[in-house]
Amino acid sequence: MSGFDKRVYSYEEAMAGIESGMTLVAGGFGLCGIPENLIAEVKRRGVKDLTVISNNCGVDGFGLGVLLEDKQIKRFYASYVGENALFEQQMLNEEIEVILTPQGTLAEKMRAGGAGIPAFYTATGYGTPIGEGKEVREFNGRHYILEEAFHADFAIVKGWKADRYGNVVYRDTAQNFNPLAATCGKVTVVEVEEIVEPGELRPDQIHTPGIYVDRIIQGTFEKRIEKRTVREG
């Protein structure tokens, strides 16, 4: 039984083994569904020269943005990096290498990495700067470029509920890149709002089966909102 008990009880334990120079993939879209406490632990540890893969880089002072404060990130794969002044500054100073990646390609590179698919062809980016230098192949009269899978040393993921076996469910659009990130880390760490007893989660409702997950930790979350937009009512 204990071989399947993925629970850890401190963030220090959750991120044990992360070192400078490693590749880190993180779930989240904007500030929605980000593993905010795991990110804080990466900051606390002060590891440097990280390659980070995530759709965005948080905002100044929150989310992955905090890793910029001590220049912990060397290279960043993202589809959109617009909300962060410190990121812009480090990008312009060439202190951080940014590899802009179309959002669907980013997701698929994670999925492929986790699924043992080394590379895939996609029409996305053909004929654009993204396709430059990449292998092109024609299928049924259309051009496709070859994109390679992501592999990360650590995947950091935010779930809603999990059991000790590491089965995870996500809540609403906080799902986003999380289940994909969870598949492509050598070590996958998931922080959740609640750890429930085995059997409480319906097997047919699991988003991330425990086989992908190495460590589970229960945390509390700020869940900052980036653009609060409301209607009268």
Binding residues for another protein, rule: CB under 8 A, are: 29-33, 55, 78-83, 88, 92, 100, 102-108, 110-111, 122-130, 160, 170-180, 207, 223-233
C-beta of 138 vs 232, nearer to another protein: 232
Please say whether the dihedral angle defined by the alpha carbons of residues 213, 214, 219 and 223, taken in this order, is positive or negative: negative
DSSP annotation string for 18-66: --TT-EEEE--BTTBT--HHHHHHHHHHT--SEEEE-S---BTTBGGGH
Neighbours of 211 (CB within 10 A): 10
Q: How far is the CB of 232 from another protein (least distance, A)?
A: 8
C-beta of 1 vs 230, nearer to another protein: 230
C-beta of 60 vs 126, nearer to another protein: 126
Q: How far is the CB of 69 from another protein (least distance, A)?
A: 20
Q: How far is the CB of 5 from another protein (least distance, A)?
A: 26
Structure tokens at 28: 């989240």
C-beta of 15 vs 167, nearer to another protein: 167
Residue pair 86/93 in contact by the 8 Å Cβ criterion: no
Question: How big is the chain, counted in residues?
Answer: 233
Q: How far is the CB of 65 from another protein (least distance, A)?
A: 14
